[in-house]
Amino acid sequence: MVQFTLVGADVHDKSILVKVAVDRGPAVTRSWSNDRDGRQAMIADLKRRAAEAGAKEIWFAYEASGQGFGLYDDLTEAGIRCGVLAPTKLKRSAQERKKKTDEKDAERLLEVLRGHLLAGNRLPEVWIPDMQTRDDRELVRSRLDAGEKISAVKAQVKALLKRNGVGRAAEAGEGWSQDYRRWLTWLTQEGSVLGAGARAGLLTLLAQLDFLEEEAGKLYEAIAELSEAQRYAGSVKEMRKLKGAGLLTVMVFLTEIGDLKRFRNRRQIGAYLGLVPTAAESGEQNDRKGHITREGSARLRKVLCQATWARVKHDPEEREFYTRLAEKNPKHKKKAVVAVMRRLGIRLWHAGLRGMEATA
């Protein structure tokens, strides 16, 4: 008896290429536009094929990407079982990496799906956040993006001054203080050490910086308001008790992680953060540890790194922990940083859970 219509898909911004098969049968290749009409036409075609074959269920698989989960939502709404797969957990041979095509990618996902349904292999699915979490992420990620743009503009300002041989004046103070900003403003005026073109370039950079900082402030206020929502308030209160865990760090953690209860122990949260080492063990060879896996959210690792340095600076216990690890291996101090980041991530997770229980 026919059980499944299986679909492996290679999804791009403008197109979706699918490989469709019934159970162990041969695959058929189809291509659709990746818009609302194209997806609905694809769904109708898949349902027709399943009905003709007498298949009980349709299963669809594609790789997670920056395009979000709109395709997943459409398929689920249509009653199609959909698996969004983690690219970092899909094995590729050296030959597959060298000869990568849309059809081969779709066929590979079809075989992964076939192996799961017909042979019981594990399906490396990502966790799908609910609509509220997705919307909250947009706000928090916008604030992170604004921060990165501010850093980029500041770097451009420094580069402009360096190109024109202008060093920091004594009255400019240190860092991006008010004195420094006043000095930069003076440089944009006629009669300063800069030429007309450089003055115009600096002026527009400072205007961009003012705009971005104002927008970042508005976004931070919105995040502060969001943190008081019932779904976050308890966790935020507990997590912010940890030194170095500011509001933005905490909200990035909560929105990127999503459901804290989906992790059972500290090892799972450490692995999700991508802060555990890779391992290579074969036969009689010892287990060799490599670089961290870097799985999960890069945004979250970045804010954890920033919070880690704040903890090392202001928390004597954390400073002693970091120093002890760094002195043990002075040529690889990054390992000590990663260890502190992992410990902070685990503590934030525990604190978040305590906050949830307190408000339950």
pLDDT in tens, 32-72: 999 999 999 999 999 999 999 999 899 999 999 988 999 99
3-class secondary-structure state, position 17? strand
pLDDT for residue 164: 97
pLDDT for residue 281: 57
pLDDT for residue 163: 97
Residue 360 has pLDDT above 90, yes or no: no
Band (pLDDT 50/70/90 cuts) for residue 277 is confident
Q: How far is CA 116 from CA 9, 64, 328, in A?
A: 16, 18, 45
pLDDT for residue 288: 55
Which residue do the tokens 């299963």 mark? 59
Question: How do 288-292 and 277-280 pair as beta strands?
Answer: antiparallel
Band (pLDDT 50/70/90 cuts) for residue 91 is confident
pLDDT for residue 329: 85
pLDDT for residue 293: 78
pLDDT for residue 358: 87
pLDDT for residue 1: 56
Residue 278 has pLDDT above 80, yes or no: no
Residues 193-203: what's their mean pLDDT?
Answer: 97
- Whose CA is closest to 39, among 8, 61, 72, 65? 72
pLDDT for residue 290: 62
Residues 337-343: what's their mean pLDDT?
Answer: 94
Residues 7-11: what's their mean pLDDT?
Answer: 97
Residues 208-235: what's their mean pLDDT?
Answer: 98
Rounded distance between C-alpha atoms, residue 19 and residue 33, angstroms: 15
Q: Are 107 and 90 in contact (CB under 8 A)?
A: no
- Whose CA is closest to 73, among 36, 108, 24? 36
pLDDT for residue 176: 95
Q: What is the pLDDT of residues 230-254, one digit of tens each?
A: 999 999 999 999 999 999 999 999 9
Rounded distance between C-alpha atoms, residue 180 and residue 172, angstroms: 4
Q: Are 144 and 61 in contact (CB under 8 A)?
A: no
Band (pLDDT 50/70/90 cuts) for residue 8 is very high
Residue 287 has pLDDT above 60, yes or no: no
Residue 218 has pLDDT above 90, yes or no: yes
Residue 194 has pLDDT above 60, yes or no: yes
Residues 92-98: what's their mean pLDDT?
Answer: 67
> Full-prediction pTM beyond 0.75?
yes
